[in-house]
């Protein structure tokens, strides 16, 4: 192909983002076979057949092109360049640039121009571009081509990127006349806000609960909920001032309290929202560290930010205290800056119990028990009914009441009573199973009571019938259960007991045990820990929120701390990297929050197989990879590792190795 043919093909492209010198187009839009074949031949000639790219850049007046790799093109609103191949066909030379470890890679804008209109994300890409245009971010194109300039442009315009969408940072405050334009806090958002995402994960957005958004802004959450068939409405003093105020099962007060500069008005907003909730109020606020606050100008009980805006930033414990003092109700942390307040006591008990209750698959005992030949035959004849009943017994840790087992009447008709069937089943093997189930349910309640005492939760006036039955079966009285839990709560300050419990847990839970120092495990195994460690982690989670939001949890055994760590795609990546680390200091009742926004500075999680069950689908592949890395010297040893991503990548490069999936390849 000569230059004239190249020019004609470039001019004939179906779409593309035009610049004065070149045109950018997505690989999916390259429909001309002559041009795609030409690119393939060039790659083959350069022995780069496996070179990965998704954007082509064609020069309009020169015989040049580049193949660019934006791995997050589909997912990120403004993807960053990972690597590029530049080819100068006139001078017969090429160059590969790697931006993977760059602090300032090129950033891609206006994605909708690079794809055809039938691309599944064309409309979404267009909306993202409209947001940027409305915010005035594209006026100086020279300033936004690279990450640092792009981030600076966003910040200087008073915005920030959250989940790839533009958010107004805060309300603007005129310090001279103290007027707050709170309506400027309204955000253009795609998808649910973080508080409602948490409600979704916890099963509250199934359609069984109505939702009211108090201070709904532009109404994005409402639209999203309504589109999914949920009874949702909202009110906002600026955007929906004439909307009706309705009672709902769930009321959301999302990031509203931060921008109200008057404390009395803030409390009033909290009371108004709580009054509208029939079951649950969820409150969220912006958090900040002391170091961040020290850089700002104090104003009333908040600060004036560098952009002359008012914000009341909270500490986690401060926000909890504010909510509880204002409403005289317990506030349960479900995430940094996010609390749930239950108006319905039974709903609260149900939530707390289910969070702490162990889920276990019991093994069916194939050998039928017998006290007599007649009973043995009867049990064999009704094997399915008997096993269903026995599973219910193990689930409750006691004989289930008639309303807790749907086939109780059938059991009575066949065996005379549920108690008789229970006694028939109590052979040695089943008795051991039952005692184990009973102890587990007792421990679930001890953790529940202990964390209630730790968070100073007042005793409930009413309890569900199920709870009354449980307490009678496990503790005789609720007071005896609370006394036992109180004793355990005091014991979490005993380092020796914690270390002994960690040693015990290390023998049956996938984990890393640093002797007499710390114990690391995946969050899904927390409820399998010895009861004293469950209470220890649960106490830290009172400030952190739901531990299931984390991936790996580090229990510090001698310093009164628990660290919750979140990784990018823990389950699917062989070497995931940390995105968030929250350290809870129990003695100080405080938290340190570390957010790894800069991707190239996220430490890798090494020896991941040590946190996995050996029955997990990827366990064998993961273990093989981890052991190979140790054999090569890229990883020092089994156990916890402290290594930066640059150090890890440097070791691999020195070995001329790279990781793809769960395998190591030579390069």
Mean pLDDT on 163-187: 48
Q: What is the end-to-end Cα distance of the chain in Å, rounded?
A: 32
- The answer on pLDDT for 343 being more than 70 is yes
pLDDT above 70 as % of the chain: 89
State whether 319 and 179 are in the same domain. Answer: yes
Query: Where residue 182 falls among pLDDT bands split at 50, 70, 90?
Result: very low
State whether 573 and 637 are in the same domain. Answer: yes
Task: Give the residue among 452, 496, 491, 206 at the shortest CA–CA distance from 342.
Answer: 452
Mean pLDDT on 48-61: 92
Measure the CA angle with vertex 411, ends 409 and 413; round to 5°.
70
Total domains in the fold of the chain: 3
pLDDT score for 125: 86
Of residues 97 and 510, more confidently modeled: 510
pLDDT score for 292: 54
CA distances for 575 relative to 305, 580, 605, 660, angstroms: 38, 16, 6, 10
Query: Where residue 186 falls among pLDDT bands split at 50, 70, 90?
Result: very low
pLDDT score for 607: 97
- The answer on pLDDT for 629 being more than 90 is yes
pLDDT score for 496: 96
- The answer on pLDDT for 305 being more than 70 is no
Residue 457 covered by a domain: no
State whether 500 and 641 are in the same domain. Answer: yes
Mean pLDDT on 206-224: 89
Of residues 559 and 148, more confidently modeled: 559
Per-residue pLDDT of 242-262, as tens digits, reads: 888 989 999 999 989 988 888
What CA–CA distance (Å, rounded) separates 192 from 238?
A: 21
State whether 95 and 190 are in the same domain. Answer: no
State whether 82 and 193 are in the same domain. Answer: no
Mean pLDDT on 607-627: 95
- Are 536 and 562 in contact by the 8 Å Cβ rule? The answer is yes
pLDDT score for 295: 63
State whether 589 and 655 are in the same domain. Answer: yes
Residue 265 is part of a domain; what is its CATH number? Answer: 3.40.50.150
- The answer on pLDDT for 172 being more than 50 is no
pLDDT score for 187: 40
Q: Is the dihedral of CA 606, 667, 579, 357 positive or negative?
A: negative
Mean pLDDT on 78-90: 92
What CA–CA distance (Å, rounded) separates 343 from 351?
A: 12
Those residues whose C-beta lies under 8 Å from the C-beta of residue 144, and which sit 6 or more positions away, are: 107, 109, 137, 138, 150, 153
- Are 593 and 605 in contact by the 8 Å Cβ rule? The answer is no
- Are 624 and 633 in contact by the 8 Å Cβ rule? The answer is no
Residue 225 covered by a domain: yes
Q: Which of left, alpha, beta for 291 (phi over 0: left; psi -120 to 50: alpha)?
A: alpha
CA atoms within 13 A on the CB side of 639: 9
Residue 458 covered by a domain: no
Residue 400 covered by a domain: no
pLDDT score for 371: 45
Query: Where residue 101 falls among pLDDT bands split at 50, 70, 90?
Result: confident
Which range among 36-40, 178-182, 232-236 shows the weakest confidence by mean pLDDT? 178-182
At 67 the three-state DSSP class reads strand
Which structural domain, as residue segments, surrounds residue 622? Answer: 495-666
State whether 317 and 229 are in the same domain. Answer: yes
- The answer on pLDDT for 639 being more than 60 is yes
Which range among 188-197, 245-254, 323-332 shows the weakest confidence by mean pLDDT? 188-197
- The answer on pLDDT for 134 being more than 70 is no
Residue 59 covered by a domain: yes
What CA–CA distance (Å, rounded) separates 554 from 536?
A: 11
pLDDT score for 609: 97
Residue 141 covered by a domain: no
Of residues 174 and 203, more confidently modeled: 203
State whether 300 and 206 are in the same domain. Answer: yes
408-415 and 383-396 are packed helices; what angle lies between their axes, rounded to 10 degrees?
A: 120
Query: Where residue 173 falls among pLDDT bands split at 50, 70, 90?
Result: very low
Rg (C-alpha) for the chain, rounded Å, is 30
Residue 485 covered by a domain: no
State whether 107 and 173 are in the same domain. Answer: no
Which among 316, 343, 370 is the end of a domain? 343
pLDDT score for 349: 86
Mean pLDDT on 620-629: 96
Which among 317, 343, 369 is the end of a domain? 343
State both tokens at 638: 């089994």
Residue 483 covered by a domain: no
State whether 97 and 188 are in the same domain. Answer: no
Which among 114, 138, 154 is the end of a domain? 114
Q: Is the dihedral of CA 397, 402, 408, 412 positive or negative?
A: positive
- The answer on pLDDT for 31 being more than 80 is yes
What CA–CA distance (Å, rounded) separates 130 from 110?
A: 9
Of residues 353 and 516, more confidently modeled: 516
- Whether the full predicted model's pTM is greater than 0.75, yes or no, is no
């Amino acid at each position: 192909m000569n230059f004239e043919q190249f020019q004609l093909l470039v001019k004939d492209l179906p779409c593309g983002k035009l610049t004065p010198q070149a045109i950018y187009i997505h690989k999916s839009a390259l429909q001309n076979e002559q041009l795609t074949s030409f690119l393939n031949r060039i790659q083959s000639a350069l022995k780069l057949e496996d070179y990965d790219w998704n954007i082509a850049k064609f020069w309009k007046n020169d015989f040049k092109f580049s193949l660019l790799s934006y791995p997050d093109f589909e997912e990120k609103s403004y993807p960053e360049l990972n690597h590029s191949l530049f080819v100068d066909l006139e001078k017969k030379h090429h160059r590969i640039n790697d931006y993977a470890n760059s602090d300032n890679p090129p950033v891609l804008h206006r994605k909708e121009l690079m794809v055809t209109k039938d691309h599944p994300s064309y409309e979404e890409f267009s909306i993202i571009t409209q947001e940027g245009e409305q915010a005035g971010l594209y006026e100086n194109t020279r300033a936004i081509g690279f990450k640092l300039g792009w981030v600076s442009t966003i910040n200087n315009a008073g915005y920030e990127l959250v989940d790839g969408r533009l958010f107004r940072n805060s309300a603007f405050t005129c310090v001279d006349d103290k007027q707050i334009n709170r309506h400027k806090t309204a955000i253009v958002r795609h998808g649910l806000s973080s508080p409602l995402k948490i409600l979704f994960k916890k099963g509250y957005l199934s359609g069984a609960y109505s939702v009211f958004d108090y201070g709904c802004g532009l109404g994005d959450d409402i639209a999203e909920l309504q589109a999914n068939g949920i009874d949702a409405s909202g009110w906002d003093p600026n955007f929906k001032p004439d909307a009706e105020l309705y009672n709902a099962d769930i009321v959301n007060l999302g990031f509203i309290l931060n921008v109200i500069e008057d404390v009395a008005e803030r409390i009033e907003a909290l009371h108004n929202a709580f009054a509208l909730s029939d079951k649950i109020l969820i409150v969220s606020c912006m958090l900040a560290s002391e170091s961040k606050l020290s850089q700002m100008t104090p104003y009333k009980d908040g600060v004036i930010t560098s952009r002359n805006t008012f914000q009341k930033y909270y500490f986690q414990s401060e926000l909890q205290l504010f909510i509880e003092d204002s409403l005289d109700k317990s506030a349960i942390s479900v995430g940094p800056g996010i609390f749930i307040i239950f108006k319905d006591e039974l709903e609260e008990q149900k939530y707390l119990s289910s969070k702490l209750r162990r889920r276990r698959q019991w093994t069916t005992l194939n050998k039928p028990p017998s006290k007599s030949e007649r009973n043995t035959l009867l049990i064999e004849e009704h094997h399915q009914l008997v096993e269903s009943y026995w599973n219910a017994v193990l689930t409750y840790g006691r004989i289930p009441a008639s309303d807790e087992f749907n086939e109780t009447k059938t059991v009575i008709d066949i065996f005379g009573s549920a108690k008789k069937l229970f006694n028939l089943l109590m052979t040695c093997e089943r008795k051991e199973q039952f005692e184990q189930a009973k102890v587990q349910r007792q421990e679930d309640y001890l953790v529940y009571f202990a964390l209630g005492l730790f968070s100073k939760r007042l005793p409930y006036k009413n309890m569900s019938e199920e709870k009354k039955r449980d307490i009678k079966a496990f503790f005789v009285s609720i007071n005896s259960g609370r006394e036992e839990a109180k004793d355990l709560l005091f014991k979490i300050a005993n380092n020796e007991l914690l270390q002994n419990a960690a040693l015990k847990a290390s023998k049956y839970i996938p984990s890393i045990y640093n002797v007499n120092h710390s114990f690391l495990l995946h969050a899904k195994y927390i409820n399998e820990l010895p009861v004293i460690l469950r209470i220890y982690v649960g106490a830290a989670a009172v400030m952190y929120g739901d531990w299931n939001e984390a991936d790996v949890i580090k229990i510090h055994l001698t310093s009164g701390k628990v660290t919750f760590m979140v990784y990018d795609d823990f389950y699917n990546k062989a070497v995931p990297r940390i995105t968030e680390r929250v350290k809870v200091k129990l003695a100080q009742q405080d938290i340190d929050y570390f957010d790894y926004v800069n991707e190239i500075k996220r430490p890798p999680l090494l020896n991941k197989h040590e946190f996995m069950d050996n029955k997990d689908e990827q366990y064998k592949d993961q273990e093989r990879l981890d052991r190979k890395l140790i054999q090569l010297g890229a990883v020092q040893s089994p156990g916890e590792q402290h290594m930066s991503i640059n150090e890890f990548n440097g070791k691999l490069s020195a070995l001329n190795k790279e990781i793809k999936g769960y395998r190591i390849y030579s390069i």
